[in-house]
Structure 1
Amino acid sequence: MTAIKETHFNFPGQTKFYKGKVRDVYTIGDHYLVMIVSDRISAFDVILPEAIPYKGQVLNQIAAKFLSATQDIVPNWVVDIPDPNVTIGKICEPFKVEMVIRGYLAGHAWREYQAGRRSVCGVSLPEGLKENDKLPAPIITPTTKAAVGHDEDISREDILDQGIVSEEDYLQLEQYTRELFQRGTDIAADRGLILVDTKYEFGKAADGKIYLIDEIHTPDSSRYFYEDSYTQLQRESKPQRQLSKEFLRQWLIENGFQGKEGQEVPYMSPELVKSISERYIELYEHITGESFRKSASSEINDRIRTNVEESLKRLS
């Protein structure tokens, strides 16, 4: 299986290039970004050495579906999706926070709770909860958006006190976040899934409006449980069946890696890589209700270049 580990294009009108953890972003003039979703995978803010076939396609196509399904709530940055791994969108100035929202006590929030902390990002949590319990109400636990290294938890109060986001804009971001989470929850429920937690990123375009940017409701940005087994597994205090990257994080933790200084990423066997790819495809099919169609895996770079250049011609 062929995977997209990195790209090196020079598109017409290209002025900048940015390589993120997963995405390669090409700036075209003053108006557009070409975002290529690679098959790189990260955990604990570290890019792992092996790329995962079809992961980028899964992320790009799930995000496209959810962005389309939520554009009545908030406008989004998408202009065209010319290739299974590519989204072209309008340039926005990102807010320097990610809006994380949690409906259940899982992942990072659970690890904080298990360590004895009863407040996450300034939001108080009740006593007596166990892992994966449903919270009394969804909570917003923002993080700073780090250019490199780890994102850090931050409270609403600190965001406003430090002037990272204006109060007017932040209140709007909170409203959008809650409405998007409810929409994602409803769509997931229709597919027999529980949207446990997720994150959203927003930016402002030249017109001064707030836009939803990047991906939403993908396995990289979200966690899902299977609804049919949730109650029984909680009652028996057993791990939840879930569709997310948490299984990968747990595998890394069990093999002595949490992204801390001096730790080395454990060997990722071909069997592990294949299983991760299958997990991503499984989530795609569950959350969309559609069969996943694998894109052509030969001459990937030529395919992407042709599709992007044709799209840019149409947009010019």
Structure 2
Amino acid sequence: MSLADKVLAVNNDLPIRTDRPVHSGKVRSVYWLTEADSRRLIKEKGYDVAADAPLAIMVISDRISAFDCIWHGEGGLNGVPGKGAALNAISNHWFRLFKENGLADSHILDIPHPFVWIVQKAKPVMVEAICRQYITGSMWRAYSKGEREFCGIQLPEGLQKDQKLPEILITPSTKGILKGIPGVPEADDVNITRQNLEDNFSAFNLSCKADIDLYEKLLKEGFGVISDALAELDQIFVDTKFEFGYVTDASGNEKLIYMDEVGTPDSSRIWDGAAYRDGNIIENSKEGFRQWLLNYFPDPDILLNKERMSERESLARDNALPVEVMMDISSTYVGIAEKVTGQKLVFSDNPKADIIEILRDKYGLID
């Protein structure tokens, strides 16, 4: 079996019983279960959700996205071996630690397979909750050009690239394009201030003003849990993005939960501690791949300039990347997953067939 065959690149064609279109994102696909199947599983498995809560099967893939495009390798390698299993294993580990530390639940109810989550439908908070402990990336690019205010927070003069910030900063942005909010441009990923949230909390899908404090608390404490655990492995948690939503439990109580993924190399920057102390940056996250792309193509502006999206899409479509680059990404993701979880990742030769068998035999979701 070739390397390309072991990669799960297409994840929206599984024969899971659903009466709605499959939602396919950059990395995950979501299959909404029928009302009958949702009710049956809630009863059979004893999930702590309302009896009529809509459930979904979320299947991760091995696809790699960067700069809002999906990239592929030579020889039909349409994903990164082990990436999907690594992302899910890392998220599962952090979600469990959050729960053990009394923070909040996640949208995950069950994990039938390393590539698969059973999740409950949540009402998403329309905020990309971003937390930063170091000045790097887009924040450094803006700071080096003279910007000092970020999301209503004033940064001091004299900061150096990749320096630790005086305190952890919360720099939220919009999730999706939000319309009709005073002072917030109608575009994706627009930086917002705490004042924007206070003035228009319901437009961001927050239930009440007090939940701004709660989301910030869950963001900072979640960041702290991951940062402390990574520090024990001599890894630095540089910055990350969390997402939140609301669900109702079996008793009818609405609660704010973590959703999507947390603390993964896709949503965070993670640096090697020993290298940082020596004045070097070794990325244990997707940032290393982003930097490689910027150096590989002669005109990096295509990747950084949103006005050139069509050129960027052509670049990703028309360029098969060297296999060794895809395998470098694989070793980064698998390496950090095994460090974080303390366990070897187990790979399947045919993940799709395994997923189908489990969802058919143990969950009755495939005819």
Q: TM-score, normalised by structure 1?
A: 0.90
The equivalent residue for 1:287 is 340
The equivalent residue for 1:215 is 261
Work out whether residues 17 and 26 of structure 1, in 8 Å CA contact, stay in contact via their aligned partners in 2: yes
The equivalent residue for 1:251 is 292
Q: Does 1:22 align with 2:27?
A: yes
2:139 is paired with a residue whose SS is helix
The equivalent residue for 1:47 is 70
Selected match of 1:297 from 349, 359, 362: 349
The equivalent residue for 1:12 is 17
CA distance in 1, matches of 2:172, 2:7: 32
The equivalent residue for 1:108 is 138
CA distance in 1, matches of 2:228, 2:141: 27
> Which deviates the most, 261-270 or 246-255?
261-270
1:145: how far off?
A: 1.4
Paired amino acid for 1:306:
E
Work out whether residues 191 and 289 of structure 1, in 8 Å CA contact, stay in contact via their aligned partners in 2: no
> Which deviates the most, 31-40 or 151-160?
151-160
1:291: how far off?
A: 2.5
Q: Cα gap change, 1:121/1:34 in structure 2, threshold over 3 Å: closer, same or farther?
A: same
Alignment of 1:70-219 (within 5 A): 70-71=98-99, 72-146=102-176, 150-162=188-200, 163-164=203-204, 165=206, 166-206=208-248, 207-219=253-265
Q: Does 1:228 align with 2:274?
A: yes
CA distance in 2, matches of 1:105, 1:68: 29
The equivalent residue for 2:54 is 31
Q: Cα gap change, 1:139/1:312 in structure 2, threshold over 3 Å: closer, same or farther?
A: same
Q: Cα gap change, 1:20/1:13 in structure 2, threshold over 3 Å: closer, same or farther?
A: closer
1:288: how far off?
A: 2.4
1:232: how far off?
A: 2.7
| 1:98-132 deviation per Cα after TM superposition (whole angstroms, max 9, x unaligned) | 11101111222222212221122222211111111
Identity, in percent, stands at: 32
> Which deviates the most, 255-264 or 35-44?
255-264
Q: Cα gap change, 1:14/1:283 in structure 2, threshold over 3 Å: closer, same or farther?
A: farther
Work out whether residues 25 and 33 of structure 1, in 8 Å CA contact, stay in contact via their aligned partners in 2: yes
Work out whether residues 61 and 84 of structure 1, in 8 Å CA contact, stay in contact via their aligned partners in 2: yes
The equivalent residue for 1:236 is none
Paired amino acid for 1:228:
A
Q: CA RMSD in A?
A: 2.1
Q: Which has the larger radius of gyration?
A: 2
Q: Cα gap change, 1:4/1:312 in structure 2, threshold over 3 Å: closer, same or farther?
A: same
Q: Cα gap change, 1:310/1:103 in structure 2, threshold over 3 Å: closer, same or farther?
A: farther
Q: Which runs of 5+ in 1 are unaligned?
A: 234-238
Paired amino acid for 1:55:
K
1:13: how far off?
A: 4.7
Work out whether residues 80 and 311 of structure 1, in 8 Å CA contact, stay in contact via their aligned partners in 2: no
Work out whether residues 45 and 150 of structure 1, in 8 Å CA contact, stay in contact via their aligned partners in 2: no
CA distance in 1, matches of 2:360, 2:294: 42
Q: Cα gap change, 1:84/1:105 in structure 2, threshold over 3 Å: closer, same or farther?
A: same
Work out whether residues 12 and 309 of structure 1, in 8 Å CA contact, stay in contact via their aligned partners in 2: no
1:16: how far off?
A: 4.2
1:113 is paired with a residue whose SS is helix
The equivalent residue for 1:69 is 97
CA distance in 2, matches of 1:13, 1:252: 38
Q: Cα gap change, 1:297/1:121 in structure 2, threshold over 3 Å: closer, same or farther?
A: farther
| 1:269-289 deviation per Cα after TM superposition (whole angstroms, max 9, x unaligned) | 112111111111111122223
CA distance in 1, matches of 2:284, 2:188: 23
Paired amino acid for 2:97:
A
The equivalent residue for 1:268 is 321
| 1:169-209 deviation per Cα after TM superposition (whole angstroms, max 9, x unaligned) | 22210110011011111111111111111111111113421
1:84: how far off?
A: 1.0
Matched residue pairs, number?
Answer: 307
Q: Which runs of 5+ in 2 are unaligned?
A: 36-52, 73-77, 178-186
Work out whether residues 59 and 117 of structure 2, in 8 Å CA contact, stay in contact via their aligned partners in 1: yes
